[in-house]
Structure 1
Amino acid sequence: MKLVIINYGAGNIKSLQFAFKRLGVEAILSNDTETIKKADKVIFPGVGEASSAMKKLKETGLHKLIPTLKQPVLGICLGMQLMCNYTEEGQTEGLGIFDVDVLKFDSTLVKVPQIGWNTITNLKSELFQQVSEHSFMYLVHSYYAPISTETISTSEYQIQYSSALQKDNFYGVQFHPEKSSNDGEQLLKNFLNL
């Protein structure tokens, strides 16, 4: 299997590589459009700030490539948020894959960012096979995707929000499966098996 992690300078790449290595898959890091197009599966990671991450995608033309991919694509954390229409972080236009705008948590109501373990519920996708309701996943984020028709799991922090989204071959998770123990590993395994 050819697994490519899109390398555009937006964090959490090494821990993802190690997580896939534990599952017996060598992930290739690349920002080359042909390499990404030919992959069986694509991971779109992201840690950092939305507008600068989008700028990096535009510099390499990846902002045009990603929405056209036909194989399973998994966006993680900021990767998922950039797959949405828009994010309030840096007033950034997203890739428009998921039809939702990303909003900031209200820091007058909760501590921002949300850092640590939170449960995922209302699981609706083959991505969550053998992952149980109320599993704990590890999150670090100040922005969230509201509930929409593309929501495939929810979490609660100030309000209920989408902790995962799916549209066609595109999947997005707000949490870090590579840092989320056995359940996170199971989710990555499920993605490889899609």
Structure 2
Amino acid sequence: MATPQVVVLDYGSGNLRSAVRAVERAGAEVELTGDLDTAMAADGLLVPGVGAFEACMTGLRAIRGERIIARRLSGGRPVMGICVGMQILFERGIEHGVETEGCGEWPGLVERIQAPIVPHMGWNTVEAPQGSTLFEGVEKERFYFVHSYGVRDWSLVTNDRTPESHQPLVTWAETGSDAGAGDRFVAAVENGPLWATQFHPEKSGDAGAALLRNWVKTLKSA
């Protein structure tokens, strides 16, 4: 079977080289580019992101990245977002009083985490749902987070007519270790061809490597 081809989307944001190396180690051939045609043709598209929501959206729009994402998803072609690359998939984000329109692939607001210590930085466990493909074999492992903003309310509504393959699987995490002192937020989503993580799998050691392999394996039949 042919090696999956993955594009890491280059729009001026994210740990690009580390993302490329991590996906290569997961078993894919990887190209770093912002070229629309190349990104459309790949088996998988990885959207990284660090920094501010507004800056990431500005960079993404400069290469028509939101169109690339939308066109791939309309054809059922896999896309995976990481950190702010996940956040920009939602409708909007608000930072320092500035509200910015996101890609709108999912409803919801990216907002400041309500916790005693922000940013939420370091290793944390997650609450993965039953049936998760992304977290298969690493459900109990810790992953590396570094962020001050997140999605605190999942608001996508589905119904009985939504195909089972497109029913979203939402993974949660919580800041802090003291009962009642933390804040729950979306740590990952699996929703048809669109997957994303708030944490950095490329910085999450063996667990992150296994998670990326889980994603790359799905591309072989994409």
Q: TM-score range by the shorter chain?
A: over 0.9
2:113 counterpart (91, 94, 105): 105
CA contact (8 A) 2:89 2:103 kept: yes
CA contact (8 A) 1:118 1:139 kept: yes
Aligned position for 2:162 = none
Question: What is the CA–CA distance in structure 2 between the aligned matches of 1:53 and 1:75, rounded to whole Å?
Answer: 12
2:142 match: secondary structure: strand
Question: What is the CA–CA distance in structure 1 between the aligned matches of 2:77 and 2:111, rounded to whole Å?
Answer: 28
Relative contact order: is structure 1 or structure 2 higher (C-alpha 8 Å, sep ≥ 6)?
A: 2
User: Are residues 1:42 and 2:49 paired?
Assistant: no
CA positional deviation for 1:129:
1.3
Which residues in structure 2 correspond to 1:1-194 (within 5 Å)? 1-69=4-72, 70-89=76-95, 90-106=98-114, 109-124=115-130, 125-133=132-140, 135-148=141-154, 150=168, 152-157=170-175, 158-194=182-218
Deviant stretches of 4+, over 6 Å: none
Unaligned runs of 5+ in 2: 157-167, 176-181
Unaligned runs of 5+ in 1: none
**1:33-69 deviation digits (Å, cap 9, x = unpaired):** 1001100011000011111111111112112221221
> How many correspondences in the alignment?
191
Which of 1 and 2 has greater Rg?
Answer: 2
| TM superposition score normalised by structure 2 | 0.81
**1:90-145 deviation digits (Å, cap 9, x = unpaired):** 41111011222111113xx4221111111111334211111123x20000000011
Amino acid in the other structure paired with 1:2? Q
CA positional deviation for 1:86:
0.7
Aligned position for 2:179 = none
| TM superposition score normalised by structure 1 | 0.92
CA contact (8 A) 1:84 1:96 kept: yes
Q: Percent identity?
A: 34
Amino acid in the other structure paired with 1:101? L
